[in-house]
Structures are given as structure tokens and as C-alpha cells.
Structure 1
Amino acid sequence: MKMTPRERVMASVNHQNPDSLPMDLGSNVSAGISGMAYGKLKEYLGITTGHNRIYDVVQQVAQPEIQVLDIIGADVLDVGRVFNTEDSDWYDVALSNGVAAQWPDWFRPRHNKDGSYEYFDCEGTLIAKMPNGGMCFDQQYFPYKEDYPENYNDLDKEMGKVIWSAMVHSPWDHSNEKYFWETLRERCLVLKNSTDRALMITCGCNFFEWGTFLRRMENYLMDIYEEPEQVLALNDQLLERHLKNLENTCKYLDGIVDIVRFGDDLGMNNNMFMSLEKYHTLFKPYHTNINEYVHKHSSMKTFLHSCGSIFPVIGDLAEAGFDILNPVQTSAANMDPAKLKQEYGKDITFWGGGCNTRKILNMGTEKEVYDYCRRMIDIFFQDGGFVFNQEHNILGDVPPQNIMAMYKAVEDARR
């Protein structure tokens, strides 16, 4: 029976066999495409209309247009597209590789003589910097770099100075506006009624990552072992804020949005950032809490973006209640796709792993890309539990013909 894209995605997430392989590009800021690559892809496809709009300015990720999603057959939409819809919301720029694009009107970084960009907040704090020729902005301000505060009275203000909040993508760049939640609900309803694609919203709800954003990576990794009580105290504060956000998300978007996306990168290339014991005591209870809240108060599925070598913790992530795991970085150690599917294919949906973005998609031939993707599809797409997506974002060095070879593999697998 022919399914709609939404039905196809949700069937696979529920570990049922859909009518064909579900596929994603751009459902969130870790499953998308760099504006540099997007501009070249449109040129390759002969598309001269529309825009190359960079809705995530930190990673310089473009918002794929419906015309492009129709061509490649993508099944999911990020609801962030319901904001910044007017031409006046954007202005023209040239990206580092010369590709024409647009940045949100609110984003006005300083362009220095050496070609670098710097972004300051309204108080003059240097938030982020992108070097000349760079592909993304790097965090410059770490509020608790020197030490934890005596209390968390200023936590909201300090979180607002972190790059991922100060330069946040839509719809959250409008979250301080009056009637934001009512407007978001109204516009998401319009979107749902105008498309049969699945809808996703990114809600962050990071714990480990917020620790690194606030304390800086090297400090926070030591804290996990030397000051676990401080880690727990911070997590308690974060949980309070995350649950408040999830309360509104469930209240206003249940029945409209299908998937809520969280993020917490737990892995490096060769191993996890911490031992399993530390994950169990410092982070798993909090992950369980946010999943329980969403599942109790809505019908939405929960999606975790977690990079790297995380095989040892996947069972715990499923126990914590995550329905979906992304980006399935098979290029990391101990992330063999066949083993992942065999061990955890019935417990969690793999959203990603479709193409290695480190060596294959960017440096392989079209045939190598196609053959690789077909192998991954054969492994992962058994009894549902798989949505095709590359491993993280398509970066600016990926040739457009390789991108289309990847989608050709999806197209042929659907036949």
C-alpha cells in the first residue's frame, strides 16, 4: 500500500516495514547541508530560482527548499522553516567558497580586514569567530571557564551568551517574541496541512554538551571525574529549564509535530568521552527524565543526535527512552553497521549511517558513493528502524555529483 512520506517515516520509526525507504535531508541542523554545498548542488541541478538561506549560522547550514526536497524525494521537514519567510528577513552574502547565499537579517557579524568574521552580542561580548575561508563559526566565550558560580541566578543570561544560544537557528531565534508559542503552533498547523511530510522540531535539551559550552571541553571532562557533584548541580539546573521548554513544546505541538530532536555528543572518534559508569550516574537519569516527559505528555517520538564511537552506550540510550539515534557515525571506532543493526536494530531507529561523510561522500567517485550507500541500505533497512541520512551534514567540499549519486542509491533502493 502506498504510504505518504509521514506514514513512511513513522512506520520505520515504529520498526514496521514501510512501503519504501524513508529518507531525510534537512530535518535538523545535524542532518542537513552546508550552504556552500547547497549552492553548488542547485547549480548542478540547473535551478536558478529560490534562495540559499543559511538558517543555522553557526554551522552555515542551508534550509533545503521544497523544490530540491521534491527532486531527491526527502520525507521530513524542519518546522524552523515557518519563521523568517519574508525576503526582508534575509540579506545577501558570499560564502567562503564564493557561493551566493543569504544570512538572517538579525545576524550581523563584523567582517574584519583579514577576511575573518566576529560576532558580538549587544553587550559587546565576543561570542564567535569564523576565520578567513572557514566553514563555520567557533565558540569564543565560555561563561564558567574559570570556575562554577556560587549560585545559578545568572545562568539564563550566561547561557544566552553561548554561541548555540546567541546565534540560535529558527524557530528559536524568535522565542523571545510575545505569543511565540501560539504563533509557532498556528504556523506549524498550516505547515502540516500543506504537506504530507513528517515534521521535526529541534529542542536541544543537552546536558553533557551544555557543560562543555559553559565550562569549556577540557575543564568539563576533568569535572566529570574530579567534581561530579558540580556536574550534577548544573544538570539539575539544566533539567529545570529543559522541562519548562518541553512543557510548552508538548502543550502547543502535540498532534502536529511528529518528532522532537535532542542533542548530546557522547563520543569521540575512538571512544566515548566518559566511562559507562559516569554516564549512568551523571547523565542517564536526566536523559530518562526528558524522554519520560515527552512520551507521557505527547505522541511525539524522541530523537537523539550523538556523534562518535558510542556503541557501548546505545543500549542505555534505548533504556533511557530515545526512539531514534543519529547520525550513526560508522566511520568511528566500534561502529560497524552490521553489528549496530544486529545488536540494537529492534531497540532504536537508526537515522543516518547512509553514507560516510569523512572519506566517501566527499572524496569517493560517484560509483564508490553509490555502491557504499547501497551496502548501508542493505544492512540497515531490514524490518524498519532506519531512515536514510548521511553521517552528519554534507559539507562544502562535497561535489554535487556525489550528492546525487547518494540519492540515486536511495531512488534505486525504493524500486
Structure 2
Amino acid sequence: MTRRERVLSAIAHREPDKVPIDLGAMRSTGITAVAYGNLKKYLGLSAGSTDVYDVVQQLAQPEDPILDYFEADVIDLGRAFLTADSDWKDFTLPDGSAAKIPASANFEPDGSGGWLVRSSTGSIIGSMPKGAYYLSQTHFPLLEWDGRDLSVLDKLPDLMARVTWAALPTAPWHKPLTGEHLADIRRRAKRLSETTDFAIMAGFGGNLLEWGQYLCRNDQFLVDLAESPRKAEALLDRLTEIHLENLEKFLDAVEGHIQIIQMGDDLGTQLALQISPQMYRRFFKPRQKMIYEKVRKRSGLHLFFHSCGAIAPLLPDLIETGVEIINPVQTSARGMEPETLKREFGKDLTFWGGGCDTQRVLPLGTEREIDEHVRRRIETLAPGGGFVFTQVHNIMPNVPPQNIVAMIEAAKTYRTRYGNSGT
């Protein structure tokens, strides 16, 4: 079975020859640059470099030797871009080690040992103080907007560009979706598809709740949903229009060359939903369905949805919108016990994640505890297909490399127990 076939079999709820594995095929299944450098040292891998492809989260792009060691089955379309040395520039990680970031990243020292990011107009929109491991958003373009002047929304693409996530995009979103770049996306996606047997995932996002929070600030947007619904709906309608326009162009470029397209919106917290089910169904579900139907109408494309937190109450709704794959399967959140999820939703959803808890077990557990933990997760989630192994979320800088090794060695050992060797 090829790696691509293995992933597609799992998504189809058929047991593949072995459980598929993911490291870094999207921005919540990855490894932070500090942890990546420590892992390479531990494994005795001195060649190559630490390329921080996601500057906001400080995520490293896994190199081929690491993907081989993890026995990974899926990769991100973005790795087909920024392949020239000139696409990168030197950067120093918080632990003092050398790395590289995209040459286009408008990152500069703050004079106190940290970093600042500026928008294209020169204003400061994010910061990473000395000792911090991630970039924090500091500018919210619509924070002062009262919703009365709707013409403000005509400028929404420009306002979105002043948010750190958009100002420091990952490939292939590092350039506007013009005809020339769309043609380049098509060429690179085709080449990647034809020269590898990996399953290929492309990130799109299509976020609605999160974009409202990025633009208005978390607290203000939640207040808007409760007290100024017309204002919130006007913003969400314009966001949906932008997403639909971009998605149509993007799908035309990648269709036939990728297998999975990733959407997302963090609907949950550790203990509960961010918003009530009623609020989700009013403001977000109809708009998500409009966006996701565009994907479902394309042949051979599977819809992947990322949402952290305690989202079990919304899983039936998400299934109705067209979601096939759920991530990160935050099993430490309330109501997200893997046994319950598999029993109640295992026929409808593929669980992409949940393979190893990243809040306690991976950073703090012993190697023996990690091995046993991974074994139990695979035994719970793998039967009947519908499972891709990856840790719950990105591997943090403080995770000991020996714990990462313990996790992946356990996954490689137990992944064959629920495989159909005759497939």
C-alpha cells in the first residue's frame, strides 16, 4: 500500500495495512522549531537546517530524514514552495540556536532581545518578547468599529492583511491569488503529486469565528455576537464572500493534485464551547455549509476541520456541514474522551489526532507511560479505520526529545496491529 492509499483508506473507514502517521502536514500537527532542533541533535542529525515556515507559531518544516524517521504518510502542499536559498533569511530562536524564516517575513528586533512584526504600512501588529516562544497579536483592525458604517467592510481584505496571521502567511498563501501565482500553485501541486506517494493536504482555513476575533479582538467579537448580531452578521457575510471567492480559485488550481483540504475554527475551550450551540447554528453553521459545499462538490477532495477544545456537542452539526475529518481531537478537554468519540462518531468522522496528549503525557510523562498511552489510543481509535495518528497538537519547545522518540517509536510499533495486510 502506498502512503497515499493508506491515508485514503483510513478516511474511507477501511483498515489500511497500518495506521497512517502525520507530522506537520498542517499547522496543528507540527513541531516547534526549538523542539525540532533538540530532536535532531538527539537523533544525531546534523545536516540541513531549521526552517521556521510558520513564524507566528514558530513551527519547523520537517525535513525528509525526519519524515522518514516518523514514517509519515502525508505532507503539506506548502513544502513545494520556498525551495530556493534566497527564499529564506537567518533567524535566532529563543534558545539561541540558528534557524531560518521566510525572507518575506517582516520580522525585526525590538531592541530588548525580542521581535516585532509590522504590517505593510509600517505599524506594529505583533510582538514576541525576549524569552517568549510565540508571536502575539497586538493590533485588531476593527476593534473600534461600531458597525454603523458598513462601507468599512469594503476594505476588509486590506484590514485582514494587518493581522499577524495574514501578515506572516505560510505558503502557498505568501502571494495573492493572481493568475500567475495560481498557475504556479497548479504546477507545483501537480509536480508534488506525481513525484511522491504521500497524501497531500492543502490548508485553506475558511475561519469565521477566529477571523471575527482576529479583527475585533476575542472579547469584543463575543460581545458583538450576543449584543450586536446585525454587526456580527455583516462581518461574517463579508468574510464568507471573501472565502468563497478565494476557495473557488484555489480549488481550480489544486483539484486532482491534492487529497485533503483543511478548514478550521477554534470553537471550543478546555471546558466548554466558546459559544452556545444555538449561537453556532445561527451565525456559523449556515455559512460554513456554504463554504464546505464548494469542497464536497469537487471529486477526490476530503474536508478536514480543525477545532481545539471541548467540541463534542457540535460534532453532529459539523458532520451535517460536510466535515469528514476532525482535528486535533483534544482528548484532555471536557467530553472528548476517545472511547466515547469513537463509539458515537467513528462511523462518520476520521479522527486525525488524539494519538498522544500534549498537555501532560508528552511533555511530562516517562517513556514507559508514553508507550502505554500511545498503545491505548491506537487500540481505541484505529479499529475499522477512521484514524490518522498524530499527537493532539504541536510539539512544544519544552518537550524532551526522548519523549518525542518514545511517542513515535510506540506509534510505529502499534500501528500495524490494526492493519489489513491483505489490502
Structure 2 partner of 1:370: 371
Counterpart of 1:15, as a letter, is: H
2:419 matched residue in structure 1 = none
What are the within-5 Å matches in structure 2 for residues 232-247 of structure 1? 232-247=233-248
Aligned to 1:51: 49
1:138 equivalent in structure 2: 136
d(CA) in 1 for partners of 2:56 and 2:206?
18
SS at match of 1:154: helix
1:63 alignment counterpart: 61
1:388 aligned residue: 389
Q: What is the rounded CA distance, in whole Å, between the counterparts of 2:127 and 2:230 in structure 1?
A: 33
2:309 maps to 308
**How far does residue 338 in structure 1 lie from its aligned partner after superposition?**
0.4
The offset of 1:148, in angstroms, is: 4.1
Q: Offset of 1:177 from its aligned partner?
A: 6.1
Find the counterpart in structure 1 of residue 91 from structure 2: 93
Is contact 2:319-2:348 (8 Å) kept?
A: yes
Q: Which residue of 1 aligns with 2:226?
A: 225
Q: For residue 174 of structure 1, report the CA deviation from its aligned partner.
A: 2.5
Query: In the alignment, which residue of structure 2 is the partner of 1:183?
Result: 184
CA root-mean-square deviation: 1.2
SS at match of 1:277: helix
Q: Give ranges in structure 1 of 5+ residues lacking alignment.
A: none
**In 1, are the aligned partners of 2:106 and 2:168 still within 8 Å (CA)?**
no
Match of 2:121 in 1: 123
Q: How does 1:336-347 map to 2 (within 5 A)?
A: 336-347=337-348
Partner residue in 1 for 2:17 = 19
| Structural mapping, 1:213-362, within 5 Å | 213-362=214-363
Amino acid at match of 1:318: I
- Kindly indicate whether the alpha-carbon contact (under 8 Å) linking 1:366 and 1:405 is maintained by their aligned counterparts in 2: yes
Aligned to 2:71: 73
Q: Residue 421 of structure 2 corresponds to which residue in structure 1?
A: none
Distance 1:101 1:169 in 2: 16
CA distance in structure 2 between the aligned counterparts of 1:229 and 1:138, rounded to whole angstroms: 29
Q: Does 1:106 align with 2:107?
A: no
SS of alignment partner, residue 179 of structure 1: helix
Structure 1: how far apart are the matches of 2:225 and 2:52?
35
Q: CA deviation at 1:105?
A: 1.0
**What percentage of residue pairs aligned between the two structures are identical?**
43
Assess, with a 3 A threshold, how the Cα gap between structure 1 residues 283 and 176 changes in structure 2: closer, same or farther: closer
1:39, 1:100 within 8 Å by CA — same for their partners in 2? no
Task: Describe the superposition over 1:145-172 as per-residue Cα deviations: whole angstroms up to 9, x where unpaired.
Answer: 1224512111111011011111111111
Q: Give per-residue Cα distances to partners, 1:264-305, cap 9 Å, x unaligned.
A: 000011100111111111101111111111111342101111
Work out whether residues 40 and 99 of structure 1, in 8 Å CA contact, stay in contact via their aligned partners in 2.
Answer: no
Q: Structure 1 length as normaliser, TM-score?
A: 0.97
> Is 1:194 equivalent to 2:195 in the alignment?
yes
* 2:177–2:246 CA contact under 8 A, matched in 1: no
Query: What is the distance in 1 between the residues matched to 2:33 and 2:141?
Result: 30
Structure 1: distance between partners of 2:256 and 2:107: 38
Contact 1:324 1:350 in 2 (8 A): yes
Deviations 1:356-414 (A, max 9, x none): 10111011111111111111111111111110111110111111111111111111113
Quote the offset at 1:228 in angstroms. 1.7
TM-score (norm 2): 0.95
The aligned counterpart of 1:162 is: 163
Distance in 1 separating the partners of 2:224 and 2:413: 49
CA distance in 1, matches of 2:52, 2:93: 10
Deviates more, 1:140-149 or 1:403-412: 140-149
Which stretch of structure 1 is more off in the superposition, 36-45 or 223-232?
223-232
Q: How many residues align?
A: 413
CA contact (8 A) 2:325 2:351 kept: yes
The Cα shift of 1:75 comes to 0.4
Q: Which residue of 2 aligns with 1:410?
A: 411
Q: Could you tell me which amino acid in structure 1 is paired with residue 17 of structure 2?
A: D
Stretches of structure 2 that go unaligned for 5 or more consecutive residues are: 417-423
